[in-house]
Chain A
C-alpha cells in the first residue's frame, strides 16, 4: 500500500500541466553523507555539491531583483495567472498556482530554498535530521502562531499529519513518520526508518500546517475559510476568480510579509495578461507560456533555472508502440531543434527524461536522442511497420506549448511515414485519458516541486513512465535504493540508470527542456523563484 500511496501522492503533484515532482533536497544529503555528527540545521546546507553535479545550464538568471532586502513595505501585490485555483484541500490541488497560494496561508514547517537545492526556515527556525536516531527535531520560531492568535504546537502538527495521511492522493508521503511529540517550541518527529525524502515532503505545500481540529470548524467549513500560520490570511477567495490575501498580523517573522495584501486573479487570455502587466495593473504574471514570453520586455521576464521538461510517452501496452524499433524510429525522427524553436528560445533539446538542474541529476551514459532521419528510417525498416503507421497523439489543448509541439511532431513524423492524428482535449479530459494510458502517444510537461532527482523519478513512476504504460517496479526499486544511498555518486548513478532506460527503450522520452517563466514587474524586489517556478509572496516588496 505504501508504494501505491506514494505514487498517488506524487501523481497529483504534477498534475495540471504544471509540473510536478516531489521532494528531496539538499539537506538530506548532508545528513546522509555527514552521517552522525553535526546534523544539518538551518537553511540550505550542502548545496554546493549539488551544483557541481548538475551539468546543464544552471543559473537562475532572474531578471528583476533577486535577493536584496526590501526597504519599503506595504501596498498590494497583484498577481495574475492563466490557471484556476484548486481550492484549499492541499491533497487534491494539482496546479502550481495553487501551491503558491497554499504555502502563503498554511505555511509548512520548512520552506524549499529559492536556489532549489536546500531549505529555508518556515514555521520552524531550525531543524535537525538525525538518521541514526531516526528523529527530526524542529524548533519553531518564537511567536509562531495561527492567524486566529493560537500558538502553533506539536498537537497541531500531529493533527495536520493525520489530515495529510488521509489524503487519497499524497497520503503515503509521510509514512515514515510514526509519532510527533514535543513541547513549547520544540517538535520531534520520530521516523520508522531513515527517509531521505521526508524533509523535502515537509517543505512542500502539501505539508501545510493546520490548526488542531480545524480550529473548531468542520472540515468543509475549514476549507471554505482556512486558517494557517503563514504570512497571509484569506480575506476572500473563489475557485476561478479573485483571491484576496491579507497580511497576517500574528506572523512570527519580524517585518514580514512586506506587502499588506496580495490579490490573485485568473486571466486566461494572453493579450489581456500582457496589457494588464504593461499598464502596471498587475505585478506578476505567473507561469508564462514559453511561446508568448517573447511578447514581454525581456528584462521583465523572470527565467527560472532550466528545469521544465516536455516529454513524449508511447503506449507500449499495445501495437504499434509495443515495437521498440518503431519507438526509436520516432525518437530519431523528431526535430528537437524545431520543437524548441517554436518555444521562443526558452527551450533547448533534451538531455534526458529527467528534469535537469536538480540535486543529483545526471545525464544518460550516452548522448541522448537527436534528429537522425537515416537512423530513423533504419529503425523503421526493422520494425513491423516499414511502410509507416497511423497513430493518435493526445495532448492538453489548454496548453498552447503542447499544442505547438504536437503540430511539429506531426510534421516531423510524416517524413518517415508515421501519420499522427492530433487529439487535443481540455485538461481534465486529457488527464483521464493519459492516466488510463488510452492513447498511442501522449505529450505533456513536468517539473519537480523540490530539489532532488528522486522527485522526477517518482513522478515517472506515478505516471507509468509518463503515460506509456511501462512497468514501474524497476523505478520503485531505484527510488528506494536512492532513499538508502550513502553517497552522491550512488544517487547520480541511479539517475543515469533511469536516463539510460529511457534512451534504450524509448518508451518515454524527453523532447525538450527549458525554463519556467514569470513576468515580474521591475517595481518588485525580493522575487525569487525555485527552478520549478514556485515562490513565496512574503519575500516580495513593492518599490515606487
Chain B
C-alpha cells in the first residue's frame, strides 16, 4: 500500500472514531448524577418549573433521540448553551483556545529546544558520563509533579525577576510572551524526558543500522553524518513521540493553567466541572478529544511522508 492509501485509510478510520468520541462526550451528561433541569432552574425550583425546563431542553426524550440531536447539533457547530450563563458554549471556549495554544506551542518548542540537543548528545556519548547525567536528569524531570514544579518556578524565578509576571496572561503580545515562558517551561520539564529518551534510542538504533554503517564506510562522518542521515531518520519517530505526548500535554495544561492562573481551556474545564455546567464540560471534552485525534492523524501522515521505509516502498 502506498502512502496515499495509508493516509486515505487513516482518514476513513477517524469517522467511526468521531462518533465514538461524541458518544462518550454525550455520556458524560448521562452518567453525571443530579437533575440537569435543576442545574438550569436553580436548586429550589418547584417540580412544575423543573418539568418546564426539562421539556424545553428536550430532557424528556429518549436517550437515543437526545444523542441523535446532540450529534446533529455538534455537526452544525452548535455545542449548546451554558446552563447558568446562557452563553453559547462555543463562545465560552473559543477565547480560551488561544491561550492554551500559546502554552502548548511554547511547551512543545521548549521541549524540543531542551530535548533535541540533549537527546543527540546522549546518543553520541552513549554509556559515557554525559549520557548518564542527561538520562539521570531526565528521570528526575519525569518524576516531578508539574504543579509542584510550577510553584517552585514561581518562587525561585517569578518572584525574583520582574520580567516574569507572577501569573495571568497580560494584555499585550509582549505580556503574553512573558507570561507564557514559565508555564511552558513547567510543561517542557515534564515532557522533555520522554522525547530525550525516545530520540536517544532512535538515534542509537539508526546509528547501528546497516544504512549508517554503509554511509560511514563511504566516508561520511561527524556532524554531517548526524545531521544528514541519523537525525533525518530519527525525525519521523521523533514527531510521533511529540504527537503522542499531546494527551499528556493537555492534562499538564489543566494543572499548569490552574497553577499559573492562565485562563485557558485547561482552567476552563476545571471551573466548568466545578460548577457542573455540563454543556460546557461536554464542549471542552469534545475539543480535547478532537485535538488529540487530529494530532495523532497528522503525526501518522507526516510519519508516512518522512519515513524512508515508506519512501522505498513507494
Enumerate chain A interface residues (CB-CB to B < 8 A). Answer: 4, 7-9, 11-12, 15, 80, 84-89, 91-94, 167-169, 220, 223-224, 238-242, 265-269, 271-273, 275-276, 279, 281, 398, 426-429, 431-432, 435, 462
Contacts and interface: CB of A to CB of B under 8 A. Distances in A.
A267 B46 contact: no
B274 A398 contact: yes
Given A238-B92, A281-B166, A429-B34, A12 B85 contact: no
Contact of A7 (B44, B167, B277): B44
A268 B258 contact: yes
Contacts of B311: none
Interface string B73-87: 000000001101111
B42 interface: yes
A59 B88 CA distance: 44
Given A238-B263, A281-B166, 11 more contacts: A8-B45, A15-B43, A93-B84, A239-B84, A239-B280, A240-B275, A268-B271, A272-B154, A272-B166, A279-B165, A281-B168
Given A4-B46, A428-B275, A89 B166 contact: no
B133 to A, nearest CB: 32
A421 to B, nearest CB: 19
Contacts of B293: none
Contacts of B268: 240-241
A276 B166 contact: yes
A167 B43 CA distance: 12
Interface string B144-184: 00000001001000110000011110000000000000000
Which of A94, A241, A265 has most B Cβ within 10 Å? A241
A87 B263 contact: no
Interface string B96-134: 100000000000000000000000000000000000000
18 contacts: A11-B44, A12-B42, A84-B271, A87-B87, A92-B84, A168-B41, A168-B42, A168-B45, A220-B86, A223-B87, A238-B96, A239-B85, A239-B87, A239-B275, A240-B263, A269-B259, A275-B166, A432-B38
Contacts of B46: 4, 8, 168
A280 to B, nearest CB: 10
A15 B159 CA distance: 36
B49 interface: yes
B42 A169 contact: yes
Contacts of B270: 268
Shortest 9 CB-CB contacts between residues of A and residues of B: A87-B85, A240-B271, A428-B276, A8-B44, A168-B45, A169-B42, A11-B44, A275-B166, A241-B263
Nearest to B50: A168
Contacts of B277: 239
A431 B168 CA distance: 30
A220 B270 CA distance: 25
Nearest to B158: A275
A209 B39 CA distance: 25
A89 B83 CA distance: 11
B291 interface: no
B260 interface: yes
B27 interface: no
Interface string B23-53: 0000000000110001111111110010000
Nearest to A93: B84
B40 to A, nearest CB: 8
A87 B82 contact: yes
Interface in B256-294: 258-261, 263, 267-268, 270-277, 280
A238 B42 CA distance: 20
A270 to B, nearest CB: 11
B168 A276 contact: yes
B95 interface: yes
Nearest to B280: A239
B267 to A, nearest CB: 7
Contacts of A427: 274-276
B165 A281 contact: yes
A263 to B, nearest CB: 9
A7 B42 CA distance: 12
Given A168-B49, A239-B87, A432-B33, A462 B44 contact: yes
A241 B45 contact: no
A428 B44 contact: no
Contact of A239 (B92, B166, B260, B276): B92
A238 B49 contact: no
A269 B49 CA distance: 37
B118 to A, nearest CB: 30
Given A8-B42, A268-B258, A276-B168, A223 B85 contact: yes
A462 B86 CA distance: 25
A279 B166 contact: yes
Contacts of B33: 429, 432
A275 B154 contact: yes
A272 B259 contact: yes
Contacts of A462: 44
Contacts of A281: 165-168
Contacts of A431: 43
Given A238-B95, A269-B259, A87 B86 contact: yes
Contacts of A432: 33-34, 38, 43
Nearest to B45: A168
A266 B82 contact: no
A12 B277 CA distance: 16
Which of B92, B96, B159, B275 has most A Cβ within 10 Å? B275
Contacts of B86: 87-89, 220, 223-224
B45 A240 contact: no
B271 A435 contact: no
A426 B274 CA distance: 6
A241 B260 CA distance: 14
B34 A241 contact: no
Contacts of A268: 258, 261, 267, 270-271
B84 A89 contact: yes
A85 B267 CA distance: 14
A7 to B, nearest CB: 6
Contacts of A80: 261
Contact of B267 (A91, A224, A240, A428): A240
Contacts of A239: 82, 84-85, 87, 92, 271-272, 275, 277, 280
A275 B259 CA distance: 12
Contacts of B259: 269, 272
Contacts of A7: 44
Which of B43, B91, B261 has most A Cβ within 10 Å? B43
Contacts of A92: 40-42, 84
Contacts of B42: 8, 11-12, 91-92, 94, 167-169
A447 B30 CA distance: 35
Contacts of A240: 92, 263, 267-268, 271-272, 275
Contacts of B168: 265, 267, 276, 281
A435 B86 CA distance: 24
B275 to A, nearest CB: 6
B256 to A, nearest CB: 11
Contacts of B154: 271-272, 275
Contacts of B159: 275
B167 A267 contact: yes
A429 B82 CA distance: 17
Contacts of A84: 271, 274-275
A269 B151 CA distance: 11
A431 B42 CA distance: 11
